[in-house]
Amino acid sequence: MKLNPRGNMNPIVDESLLKQFQLEKEEESDSLCDIDGCKAGNKTCSSLILEKEHSPVIPCDLCCAQTDFCRECCCILCYKTLDSSYCGYSYIMCKVTQGNTICGHAAHLECAFQSYLAGTVEEPIGLDAEYLCRRCDGRTELISHANELLLTCEAIDSNDVIKEKILNLGLCLMCGSEKAAAKDLMGRFALAMSKVLLN
């Protein structure tokens, strides 16, 4: 994490990491196939699972009206498919409620971070370790998600490349937060990252 040219804590991501994320997203989109039930053609889409248990979602005639967008498996920001490997660490689903329905749109956390919709962002948005959904303008705290990132890393036996990606994402999301829990997580992420880099 670096300070931007103005010296504040708006997110700036390492260019090599951005290229790596972009290459992985291209590989994900190459794996799509033409399947009934998923408008994006994703063969691993949860819409293909017959028995799903979740709250009904808020009707959407914006992005969901696009012919190749599937709310179940596409990022609302880049429209590419979500990867559920490693407990789906790379994306977040908006569960902001309206009545008995939820938003249900998801985004890659890297896309949200690059778009200043995740992490700690100064005014005019004013996020503090939060995610702002572009669809419903609902806010989701990211501290519990960051805790899950640490647990996911602990469960991975030997893949240090994946661990480093997960930890770097957690560091980016918590950096600059004024919340005590986020500052504590920053220390835990930094410690875990130092162990990975020593391997």
Confidence of residue 12 (pLDDT cuts 50, 70, 90): very low
Q: What is the largest CA-CA distance in the chain?
A: 51
Residue 36 is assigned to a structural domain of this protein: yes
Residue 8 is assigned to a structural domain of this protein: no
Tell me how far the alpha carbon of residue 77 is from its chain's centroid. 11
Q: What is the residue range of 116's domain?
A: 15-198
- Closest Cα partner for 197 from 171, 161, 149? 161
Residue 2 is assigned to a structural domain of this protein: no
Measured between alpha carbons, how far is 4 from 6 in angstroms, rounded to an integer? 5
Query: What is the tens place of the pLDDT at every residue in 30-77?
Result: 433 333 568 777 777 766 554 455 568 888 878 887 888 888 889 999
Q: DSSP class of residue 65?
A: G
Number of domains in the chain: 1
- Closest Cα partner for 90 from 168, 14, 166? 166
> Which pTM was predicted?
0.74
